[in-house]
């Protein structure tokens, strides 16, 4: 947005005071859309956060922790009780044995986990393979670190991996690959065979996998999440990034973590220590309660999201969108070409202003904006009445077909 108070003199001063590493950064489109939604009173299906409450027992545990005076710093790389709970959960769910003393770093959300991992493990000039469309933070993570993203395009409609291109993307400068499964924004769940092939490549070429698994429990059609770290040969070379945000509907708590081999963890802990010191201590304590919820909690989380997925897809198809059916996570990418807009940004502006629904323009998930120009992303982590209200508004779009 143009700021009329920014004269050329203030712009020049800003250029002198800003570091070069910030020049390429622009405001997150996802978070900007939330601001526009508030401004126009639109139903916000842009930024991916639930508008329904967190589990009552988890909220109670947070209140108890504050009343119990857990108000000072936790150990910088994570409160012991919380790390122990994370290790117990990994073992019970996936038979994945993690040492809570040396292999976990608790962070301020998955966002910090990802950034701290990049800062700790990549040198300027290292290449990082990233699948496109991608979650928009991975670009700034690279540019702040000085790493170079090498993109490999997933192929719609099933978003499969072109393995010949993936192999060709690996070269002597490749240091890491980012995997986000279940995937934001496509809803792709990486299959066992796909993970196996990626794992083989990583082992052959001595490459790290940084895997963002924050949607692990939001998965449909009877599929099961497979952590990359549990694939053959990957335990030593995987940084698993995760958080409480999505599994327990607490995106504002900012409690995330990394799980990785002790040598990798050591470096991640150093960055984390000097950037944030630590995640909120009472909320880590509440995390102990969250992580001990029974399997039925996760079953019903997935079942509720399945209902929301079907609800939103029904609405979108009725209104003239062509959708890519997500297999996991809580987003749907929709093709907007039938509405005849010049591009996704114009469509998203029209939608938030005239129709009253906020979405994320597809171009924010691609390096070249033209590649996402006929796509938008809807988030369906919303109450039934929110989706119904969006439906009432979106039906007005049918007049434009």
Query: Rule CB under 6 A: which of 269-308 touch ligand GLN?
Result: none
Query: How distant, in Å, are the alpha carbons of 37, 124, 183, 304 from that of 301?
Result: 26, 40, 17, 5
Contact 129, 178 (CB under 8 A): yes
Which is nearer to ligand GLN, 190 or 331 (by Cβ)? 331
* The pair of three-digit structure tokens given for residue 342, joined into one six-digit string: 């010049």
The answer to the question of residue 244 lying near ligand GLN (CB under 6 A) is no
Contact 379, 301 (CB under 8 A): no
Contact pattern from residue 159 through residue 198 relative to ligand GLN, giving x for each residue in contact according to CB under 6 A and a dash for the rest: -------------------------x--------------
Query: Rule CB under 6 A: which of 82-141 touch ligand GLN?
Result: 111, 135
Contact pattern from residue 42 through residue 81 relative to ligand GLN, giving x for each residue in contact according to CB under 6 A and a dash for the rest: -----xx---------------------------------
Query: How distant, in Å, are the alpha carbons of 1, 217, 253, 391 from that of 313?
Result: 32, 20, 29, 11
Binding-site member from 13, 31, 173, 396 for ligand GLN (CB under 6 A):
31
Which is nearer to ligand GLN, 49 or 96 (by Cβ)? 49
The answer to the question of residue 247 lying near ligand GLN (CB under 6 A) is no
- Residue 52 CB, shortest distance to ligand GLN, in Å, is 16
The answer to the question of residue 30 lying near ligand GLN (CB under 6 A) is yes
What is the rounded distance in angstroms from the CA atom of residue 205 to the CA atom of residue 203? 6
Query: How distant, in Å, are the alpha carbons of 126, 162, 165, 284 from that of 172?
Result: 9, 20, 16, 40
* The pair of three-digit structure tokens given for residue 356, joined into one six-digit string: 């009253």
Which is nearer to ligand GLN, 77 or 330 (by Cβ)? 330
- Residue 60 CB, shortest distance to ligand GLN, in Å, is 26
Q: What is the DSSP letter of 382?
A: S
- Residue 382 CB, shortest distance to ligand GLN, in Å, is 12
- Residue 11 CB, shortest distance to ligand GLN, in Å, is 27
Spatial neighbors of 249 by CB under 8 A, at least 6 apart, are 50, 52, 53, 54, 55, 381
Q: What is the DSSP letter of 107?
A: E
The contact set with ligand GLN (CB under 6 A) reads: 30-31, 47-48, 111, 135, 184
């Amino acid at each position: 947005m143009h700021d009329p108070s920014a004269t050329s003199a203030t712009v020049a001063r800003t250029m002198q005071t800003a570091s070069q590493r910030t020049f390429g950064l622009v405001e997150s489109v996802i978070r900007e859309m939330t601001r526009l939604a508030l401004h126009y009173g639109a139903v916000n299906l842009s930024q991916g956060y639930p508008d329904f409450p967190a589990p009552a027992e988890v909220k109670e545990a947070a209140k108890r922790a504050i009343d119990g005076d857990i108000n000072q710093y936790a150990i910088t790389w994570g409160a012991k009780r919380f790390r122990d709970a994370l290790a117990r959960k990994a073992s019970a769910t996936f038979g994945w044995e993690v040492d809570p003393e040396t292999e976990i770093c608790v962070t301020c959300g998955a966002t910090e986990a990802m950034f701290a991992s990049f800062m700790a493990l990549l040198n300027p000039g290292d290449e990082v393979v990233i699948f496109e469309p991608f979650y928009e933070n991975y670009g700034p993570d690279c540019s702040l670190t000085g790493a170079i993203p090498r993109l490999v395009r997933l192929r719609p409609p099933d978003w499969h991996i072109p393995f010949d291109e993936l192999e060709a993307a690996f070269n002597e400068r490749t240091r890491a690959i980012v995997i986000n499964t279940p995937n934001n924004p496509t809803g792709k769940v990486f299959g066992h065979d796909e993970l196996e092939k990626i794992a083989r490549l990583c082992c052959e070429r001595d490459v790290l996998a940084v895997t963002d698994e924050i949607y692990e429990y939001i998965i449909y059609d009877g599929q099961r999440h497979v952590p990359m770290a549990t694939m053959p040969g990957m335990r030593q070379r995987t940084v698993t990034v995760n958080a409480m945000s999505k599994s327990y509907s607490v995106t504002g708590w900012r409690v995330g973590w990394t799980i990785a081999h002790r040598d990798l963890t050591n470096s991640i802990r150093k960055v984390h220590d000097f950037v944030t010191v630590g995640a909120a201590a009472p909320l880590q304590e509440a995390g102990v309660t969250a992580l001990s919820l029974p399997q039925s909690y996760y079953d019903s989380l997935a079942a509720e999201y399945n209902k929301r997925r079907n609800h939103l897809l029904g609405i979108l198809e009725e209104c003239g969108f062509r959708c890519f059916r997500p297999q996991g996570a809580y987003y749907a990418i929709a093709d907007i070409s039938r509405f005849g807009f010049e591009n996704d940004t114009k469509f998203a502006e029209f939608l938030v202003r005239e129709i009253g629904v906020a979405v994320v323009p597809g171009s924010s998930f691609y390096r070249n904006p033209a590649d996402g120009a006929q796509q938008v992303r809807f988030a369906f982590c919303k109450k039934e009445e929110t989706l119904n209200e969006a439906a009432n508004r979106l039906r007005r779009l049918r007049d434009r077909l």
